[in-house]
A and B are shown apart, each in its own frame.
Chain A
């Protein structure tokens, strides 16, 4: 598997470490029923067979956290962007393989 790192270019996946689902977001700790919200955040996953947005960390490269779009049935990667970039203007950082 080769990941198109927006900073380093197309690199072998063994340089990266994987965290998983990038679509979950950390709940506000002071929200009512925060414990239930955190339970969902920490433990529950959509786990789709198909398109998946996921977090990879370029440990042996630029040390950036990336959001990689990958199909879990084929492992085909359709793009990657910096996780720190706000979603709305991710386009400038998006790199296709």
Chain B
């Protein structure tokens, strides 16, 4: 065990058992998986992407490139989980990934012996011959070797939530600057949200021993946390990562509600995805300790100097016997000191600087730490680190070390500032990029702004807290700052040890070495974006958090350009990877989209209806009866019942729009191709409306209930689109018209009854004195009245089926009662409920166009409706429908089809070819849009579009359907298959 005997923020009273690769270990509450593994002397944790090199824990935070594991098992398996961010819980199961057969012995690690062949971009230069082998051999092999962890093999069993939050000031990060920003803004009365990706507020203060107000940092943290939780206007959100910034001050955040538990708590989601709308935000995300590039810098046991400090101080772990620190900056020394003071044996500090500051030298002496100034680590050895080789002016020397804490300086964590395209600027004194332009409303404080010392963090955090609160309208005053002894850190820019031994890694996870950057340079991939894409530098799961700086510094060395001129690649959200499930929330599987049941849904279900998705609606498709063996038998029975007696269908899904005002007639004349201003009160008319580009948008019937009152129906699919279009016409095109619109689709149930007996059925449910006789309510009549003893109703004598028919609209809550009343009234006639299939069959028998024909690619003329268009008025789409292509004689137009051999089945989607013509595009004459088996005619019938259209009635063409093996002769015919004169609906 490498657990220190005392200290740390772990709860030693709460031991937790966990397994890694099947072996059992013990940790404590407060551990991460990484700290617990290190405490158990598990140093080999993962394998790299390309060379499958053994890797350990590099960091103690969200920037971890190496220690990725599969967390949990079964349906909850989470590949690529950073061990440094996984909180330990009782029973945690983790498995190493990207290795075979085992973590300790991975056959693909042989790749590293061929690293000189597998350099940057090698795959673009080979595997080209023979072409067929790419999919069969090369690519499958590459794919199996690539990738990291394995996805779960079942649906994610956990749930996710979405939530909105609004605040005046959002503080991103709960370290020293974030605490001061939140306290300052909070004290001023601003509504503050403080979001921190860690489990406890404090950031680096949880890992440091630096005195604040002459006490350990814990005392300051306790006060700050207490005050924040006491402020009612401050909301602290731990375990919450702000992953992106979006327009309008909207921030995406992921709260890990249950990830620290084996399963989420009852009735709690696993994660909650927040959209936080903030008037102002302050980014206090701190900085990353970045690695130095040298041979063997990836060996397990090499970690960032700050991670060494964190494991020692926060987790009371010594990550190996004998620690050495290799750095170019002061901050790494204080990390070494804190680690030593916590109980880690730190034997040496190697600093590339010849003359480190005297105060640091004194600190080292006091702790009995050897200092090697002007030294560089040039090699490491051991499967897990056992020793390092240091080069000094005096020669080389080998030191025993199981831990090497490396630090090339701090890289401000400024990703959020550049998501709107802001390019960070290079600060040579800090050897770091610092924020320049930020998204509107976002300012930066603390280490994220390059203000690395604790005093700077406090000062800039407070100042930005004041500024943000003031911008949000609160009179904020700067508070006294906590006293701290630390001083601004100094460093000497240093990136890459020249002439070191072995592969020197820049991007650990993707195995991009300094040599790969040299290849990219030689081949001209020098712009940072090209460098990234050619070498995959910065494209791993850490998105280059640890690697980008060194990579572009090395490229800058090679090109001779400055680092500032070389620039960074664009940062992209999310800041850390976000589970897809969280962004989907509960909109998944059956709840992907809302379900709209019709007013008679429950009734239909009790009748045994089979339902079909129609947009968001569920509609009854057909009503099978016991003994019926397939849908066709059922649908045939339903059609025959309607044609011979009476049937009933719920047509509530049609869009229904109420139009009132003195100008409705004028308005309708402008939106329909035909005329409605002349429609008599009490009558309905079929109308067609176009888009402004001249193609058909929708059709439906509109009835006039009073001089200034019309009701329009639209197709089910286009209900919302038509309503929006009408509002556009009214508000944008013709605001002077006196018309008011209201969507009443939800408010009215509409039940259709059709068939020769439908009038007799209707007559039984209407209240006196409503007259539904042929004279009282003639074809295309529309009346208002009462049904079922007082229920308000609108009755339209319309027919889609071609039979005598009515549509009865009642307030939606009466829809089922009306249906039951009609069914009871129709019982003597054997009234038959029918579904959308039978409705479709009957409309095809009648040759009516429907959704399959209203494709948005068809004009009124194409649909055979050209004659409806008024020539006496303007209407939407009229002018554009006059374009040359619309009158093209070669355009396919609407027509009917029947199989020459009446026993053959038709298929929609078949293309028409002249008889005997070869099946090539040049011979394509159109296609079949709708087909049905006609019970009335006892054979299949079809509708479709054919070049020449009606002029070809009587001709035969080939219906070619190779995707279903169909190739038959069909006869072109009038689309009105049944009762083309329309006599039955006028009886």
A residues bordering B, Cβ < 8 Å?
1-2, 10, 12-13, 17, 19, 26, 29-30, 34-35, 38-39, 41-42, 55, 57, 59, 63-65, 74-77, 82-84, 86, 97
Would you give the 0/1 interface string for B256-282, flagging 1 where the beta carbon is closer than 8 Å to chain A? 000000000000000000010100000
- Is B246 positioned at the interface, with any CB of A under 8 Å from its CB? yes
Q: How far is the CB of B692 from chain A (nearest CB, A)?
A: 5
Select one of A17, A39, A63, A64 contacting B880, CB under 8 A.
A39
Instruction: Name the residue of chain A whose CB is nearest to the CB of B692.
Output: A42
**Are A77 and B248 interface neighbours, CB within 8 A?**
yes
Binds A, one of B383-391, B492-500, B728-736, B798-806: B728-736
B880 touches A42 (CB 8 A): yes
| B874 at the binding interface (Cβ < 8 Å) | yes
Contacts of A65 in B (CB 8 A): 727-728, 731-732
The residues of B that contact A75 with a CB separation of less than 8 Å are: 247-248
Instruction: Give the distance to chain A from B244, nearest Cβ to Cβ, in Å.
Output: 14
Q: Is B878 interfacial (CB 8 A cutoff)?
A: yes
Query: With the chains together, A2 CA to B248 CA distance in Å?
Result: 5
- In whole angstroms, what is the CA distance A74 to B878 when docked? 38
- Least CB distance, B50 to chain A, in whole angstroms: 38
Interface SS of chain A: mixed
Decide: A83 near B248, CB < 8 A? Known: A29-B879, A39-B880: no
Q: Given A2-B249, A97-B248: A29 and B878 within 8 A (CB)?
A: yes
CA distance A26 to B248 in the complex (A): 32
Chain A minimum-CB-distance residue to B275: A12
Output the least CB separation between B431 and chain A (Å). Answer: 31
Cross-chain contact B727 with A57 (CB below 8 angstroms): yes
A-B contact pairs, 28 of them (CB 8 A): A1-B250, A2-B250, A12-B248, A13-B247, A19-B728, A26-B733, A29-B874, A29-B878, A29-B879, A30-B874, A35-B882, A38-B692, A38-B880, A39-B880, A41-B692, A42-B693, A55-B728, A57-B728, A59-B724, A64-B727, A65-B728, A65-B731, A77-B248, A82-B731, A84-B730, A84-B732, A84-B735, A97-B248
B728-A35 in contact (CB<8A): no
B692 proximity list for chain A (CB < 8 A) = 26, 38, 41-42
Which residues of B in the span 862-892 have a Cβ within 8 Å of any Cβ on A? 874, 878-880, 882-883
In the assembled complex, the CB of A9 is this many whole angstroms from the nearest CB of chain B, namely 12
Given contacts A35-B879, A35-B880, A39-B880, contact A1 B731 (CB under 8 A): no
* B518 interfacial by beta-carbon distance below 8 Å: no
Kindly state whether residue B440 has any CB partner on chain A within 8 Å: yes
Closest to A86 in B: B735
Interface centre among B246, B275, B277, B731 (most CB of A within 10 A): B731
Q: Please determine whether A64 and B733 come into contact, CB atoms closer than 8 angstroms.
A: no
A29 and B250 alpha carbons, distance in the complex (Å): 44
> Smallest Cβ distance from B274 to chain A, in angstroms?
13
Known contacts A1-B246, A2-B247, A2-B277; 6 further A-B pairs (Cβ under 8 A): A2-B248, A26-B733, A39-B880, A65-B728, A65-B732, A86-B735
| A77 CA to B247 CA, complexed, in Å | 9
B611 CB–A CB distance under 8 Å: no
Across-interface contacts of B277 in A (CB, < 8 A):
2
Query: How many angstroms from the CA of A84 to the CA of B692 in the assembled complex?
Result: 19
Q: Which residues of B contact A83 (CB under 8 A)?
A: 731-732
A12 and B247 alpha carbons, distance in the complex (Å): 10
Instruction: For the complex, give the distance between the alpha carbons of A19 and B691 in Å.
Output: 13
Nearest residue in A to B693 (C-beta to C-beta)? Answer: A42
Is B360 in the interface zone, CB < 8 Å from A? no
Cα separation A83 to B730 with both chains bound (whole Å): 10
Separation of A83 and B248 alpha carbons in the complex (Å): 22
Do the beta carbons of B732 and A74 come within 8 Å of each other? no
CB distance from A13 to the nearest CB of B (A): 8
Chain B minimum-CB-distance residue to A82:
B731
Chain A neighbourhood of B724, CB < 8 A = 17, 57, 59
A86 vs B732: C-alpha distance when bound (angstroms): 10
Question: Which residue of chain B has its CB nearest to the CB of A67?
Answer: B732
B420 close to A74 (CB less than 8 A): yes
CA distance A30 to B882 in the complex (A): 13
Which residues of chain A have C-beta atoms less than 8 A from B878's C-beta? 29
In angstroms, Cα B844 to Cα A68, docked, is 45
- When A30-B874, A74-B420 are in contact, do A35 and B883 touch as well, CB less than 8 Å? yes
Contact with A along B722-745 (1 / 0, CB 8 A): 001001101111010000000000
Closest Cβ–Cβ distance, residue A79 to chain B (whole Å)? 14
